[in-house]
């Protein structure tokens, strides 16, 4: 069925992914990926008392990308922000029992997406944009194909993958 050799744990997370979805009232959102190659991840986190209490994600990609996002969501829950930021792609791959060499980039995306969500949270609570100046309120854009709301920064719909118009 698959040309790559995946571990049982990778296939389990692929066939039964955990924590899929969005958090409408997320404290932090991190989006990473390369739509040209097909792997996109968006993580949504909820934080209480310095700990990640809930994680949801949307992933568009291959078996490994889906499995990575699922396992990262499980690994992040209950961790402090610093512990979660310290998760490395090696930790993620190890938790999955390994990944084929050509799919290693998926573990990098998972670690980066979670870290981006944490950095977004930290910027929000400090009242600063991650670039500069005061934080603008989060806006959403609606997909013209399926009607799902997406972060204003998304270039592709996290539900159906349709291209979104870039808002200025």
Residue of 62, 106, 143, 157 marked catalytic: 106
- What secondary structure letter does DSSP report for 156? B
Q: Put the strands of the sheet holding 39-48 in their side by side order.
A: 28-34, 39-48, 51-60
Q: How far apart are CA 18 and CA 59, in angstroms?
A: 12
Is position 106 annotated as part of the catalytic site? yes
Residue 93's Cβ-side half-sphere holds a number of Cα atoms within 13 Å equal to: 15
Report the interhelical angle of 63-76 vs 104-126 (nearest 10°): 40
Q: What gap in Å lies between CA 70 and CA 110, rounded to an integer? A: 9
Active-site option among 37, 62, 143, 146: 37
Give the HSE-up count for residue 14: Cα atoms under 13 Å, Cβ half-sphere.
15
Total residue length of the chain: 168
Instruction: List the catalytic residues.
Output: 37, 106
């Amino acid at each position: 069925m698959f040309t790559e050799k995946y571990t049982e744990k990778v296939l389990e997370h692929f066939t039964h992914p955990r924590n899929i979805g969005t958090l409408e009232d997320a404290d932090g959102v991190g989006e990473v990926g390369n739509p040209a190659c097909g792997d996109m991840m968006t993580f949504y986190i909820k934080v209480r008392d310095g700990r990640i209490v809930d994680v949801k994600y949307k992933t568009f990609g291959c078996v490994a990308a889906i499995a990575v996002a699922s396992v990262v969501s499980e690994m992040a829950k209950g961790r402090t922000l610093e512990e979660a930021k310290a998760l490395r792609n090696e930790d993620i791959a190890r938790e999955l029992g390994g990944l084929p060499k050509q799919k290693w980039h998926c573990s990098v995306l998972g670690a980066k997406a979670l870290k981006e969500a944490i950095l977004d949270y930290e910027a929000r609570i400090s009242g600063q944009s991650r670039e500069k100046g005061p934080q603008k309120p989060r806006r959403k854009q609606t997909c013209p194909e399926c009607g799902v709301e997406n972060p204003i920064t998304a270039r592709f719909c996290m539900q159906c993958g349709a291209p979104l118009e870039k808002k200025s």
